[in-house]
Amino acid sequence: MQYANQSLKPYSTFAIENTVQSLQIFDNLAELSTALKQLPDTFYILGGGSNTIFIEDFHGTLICPQLKGINIEESQTHYLLHVQSGENWHELVQYCLVNDMPGLENLALIPGNCGAAPIQNIGAYGVEFADVCEYVDWLEIATGKVIRLNKQHCQFGYRDSVFKGDLKDKGIIVAVGIKLPKQWQPVLSYQGLKQLPMPVTPQHVFDEVVRIRQSKLPDPKQLPNTGSFFKNPVVEHATYVCIKQQYPDIPAYQQADGRIKLAAGWLIDQCNLKGKQIGGAAVHVKQALVLINKSNASGQDVIKLARFVQEQVFAKFTVQLQPEVRFIGTMGEMQLHEFP
């Protein structure tokens, strides 16, 4: 289906009132493959819109794949799921629990579609998509062929993957392969889950993750937002030691390479920015990591507020926050510093 000059408000959970020149929605692979052969120079591929903010009117083509379907196979030790990219992620987590295939419960209530999960390498409460990924099926624009990339080819990092690097804008994720062990082991390393009573079940973990997230994160349908706005920064150990001398209670997580991951929300909160508002955009009063569209925010409101938060955190901690969300300008994706 093709539409001209459509409002972008329904296609991003931040719900800014901008327009797109051409909108194309596809619910089957054949039509999507055909459309890619006549792809214009300026395009953007959108999943569920939960991690994208349209800062300006987009003068290009917005491609929205909405492929659906879940197939399940089993080995002696694992459940093997083949999931189409248009399936909703949280609904997949629920589906797995109902069908006695646990392993995704720490990733409950993360908004967006399954096709976006590998791009961001979504993660929460000690689990990342990379931990359960078997493969990603990727439709290459240049050849029209579907290529299966294994976990190593995906080059997963913290909120990062090859789909944000070498393969960016060169193809579309059409399906993901997920591998869940039949011998379930709970991941309870993060605060909030350590206190769960034993013996813990997957449903206990799911319920607690949902409870914690709902207590902190506003429902985008009620208060437009894109969830976590900034990445948790990873700093050198020496930097962490300096900060900890002044702030002994700083939350910190040791990384495999010896560096330390800090909590971006905590850093922002220490700058007393909860409730800070510029134009119609604001820092959420309950969770400083979330920026919200409080009152008909413009794209420039968001840019100004995000920069202000960055500046305040850097001035206090000498730590540079990087956005987790993706910003779309007139001609495509842009970095925060590139906007006027």
Could you confirm whether 159 is annotated as catalytic?
yes
Could you confirm whether 211 is annotated as catalytic?
no
Could you confirm whether 338 is annotated as catalytic?
no
Structure-token pair, residue 163: 């789909």
Work out the burial of residue 304: count CB atoms within 10 Å of its CB; fewer than 13 is exposed, 13-18 middle, 19 or more buried: middle
Provide the b/e sequence for 219-252 (b: ≥16 CB within 10 Å): ebeebbbbbbbbbbbbbeeebbeebeeeeeebee
Calpha distance 69→253 (Å, rounded): 37
* Marked catalytic residue, from 159, 161, 208, 326: 159
Q: Measured between alpha carbons, how far apart are the two ends of the chain, in Å?
A: 34
Please name the residue ranges forming H helices in 70-114. Answer: 89-98
Residues annotated as catalytic (active site), given as ranges: 159, 228, 324
